[in-house]
């Protein structure tokens, strides 16, 4: 096998986890931590915790916001990731404003297409009975507008989250833990394929 291709295949996959809650005892943060604990071989997870620092999106401050500070940091973190895993609560049948705000920043031309083609996994935890189905559906729609690629599943709709973790924050449900691992595997597989395609395209162009 071509050494370059083999290097791309062997490379670690960097997945950024985003827990969409500013609450210190957030169940969605626990869900992201549970995913990190069950990450497959050669998947490295980094947790992004900057949502609270982002200014509200405003076209008047775009140029300044993209040149330094929390918006620039968000773009850099997302651009450097092979894939994202977003754990969202449901607020009033949709996603929390802090997540919509982050996606609005990421979707702008000055963000350099940080979300374009980015593989994204969506999961969610709620204290309610329906497991964030509506929020996850709303998030799919928003990410579609931003040209990201959402992996189809398996679904993690964590209902009654107040009973889903033990005192140490470990996720009790084996099926949910296994589903998290499968999502990370899907993200790693798809982002590796995307890297191989990009690498092939680069080599074709360099020989043209």
Helix (H) or strand (E) run with residue 7 in it: helix 3-10
When asked if residue 21 is in the footprint of ligand FMN (CB under 6 A), the reply is yes
Q: Which residue is nearest to ligand FMN (CB)?
A: 128
Tokens of 185: 């595997």
Binding mask 94-133 for ligand FMN (x = CB under 6 A): -------------------------------xxxx-x---
Nearer to ligand FMN, 89 or 121 (CB): 89
When asked if residue 24 is in the footprint of ligand FMN (CB under 6 A), the reply is no
Tokens of 95: 């996603």
Shortest distance in whole angstroms from residue 25 CB to ligand FMN: 7
When asked if residue 27 is in the footprint of ligand FMN (CB under 6 A), the reply is yes
3-state helix, strand, coil in the chain (%, to 5): 50, 15, 35
Rounded to whole angstroms, the Cα distance separating 53 from 71 reads 9
Task: Give the binding range for ligand FMN (CB under 6 A) out of 23-31, 140-148, 171-179, 194-202.
Answer: 23-31
When asked if residue 91 is in the footprint of ligand FMN (CB under 6 A), the reply is yes
Whole-number CA gyration radius for the chain: 18
Nearer to ligand FMN, 46 or 93 (CB): 93
* Concatenated DSSP letters of 137-154: HHHHHHHHHTT-EE----
When asked if residue 46 is in the footprint of ligand FMN (CB under 6 A), the reply is no
Residue with tokens 């869900």: 31
Rounded to whole angstroms, the Cα distance separating 160 from 11 reads 38
Kindly list the residues in this chain that would bind ligand FMN in the complex (CB under 6 A).
Answer: 21, 23, 26-28, 89-93, 125-128, 130, 161
């Amino acid at each position: 096998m071509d050494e370059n291709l083999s290097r791309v295949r062997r490379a670690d996959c960097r997945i950024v986890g985003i827990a969409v809650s500013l609450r210190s005892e957030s169940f969605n943060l626990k869900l992201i931590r549970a995913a990190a604990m069950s990450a497959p071989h050669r998947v490295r997870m980094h947790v992004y915790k900057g949502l609270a620092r982002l200014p509200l999106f405003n076209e008047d401050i775009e140029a300044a916001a993209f040149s330094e500070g929390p918006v620039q940091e968000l773009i850099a973190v997302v651009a450097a990731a092979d894939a994202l895993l977003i754990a969202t609560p449901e607020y009033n049948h949709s996603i929390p404003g802090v997540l919509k705000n982050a996606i609005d920043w990421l979707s702008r031309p000055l963000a350099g297409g940080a979300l374009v083609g980015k593989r994204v996994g969506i999961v969610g935890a709620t204290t309610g009975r329906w497991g964030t189905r509506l929020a996850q559906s709303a998030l799919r729609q928003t990410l579609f507008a931003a040209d990201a690629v959402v992996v189809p599943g398996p679904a993690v709709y964590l209902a009654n989250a107040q009973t889903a973790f033990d005192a140490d924050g470990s996720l009790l449900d084996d099926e949910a833990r296994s589903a998290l691992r499968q999502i990370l595997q899907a993200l790693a597989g798809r982002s590796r394929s995307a890297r191989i395609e990009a690498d092939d395209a680069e080599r074709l162009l360099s020989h043209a």
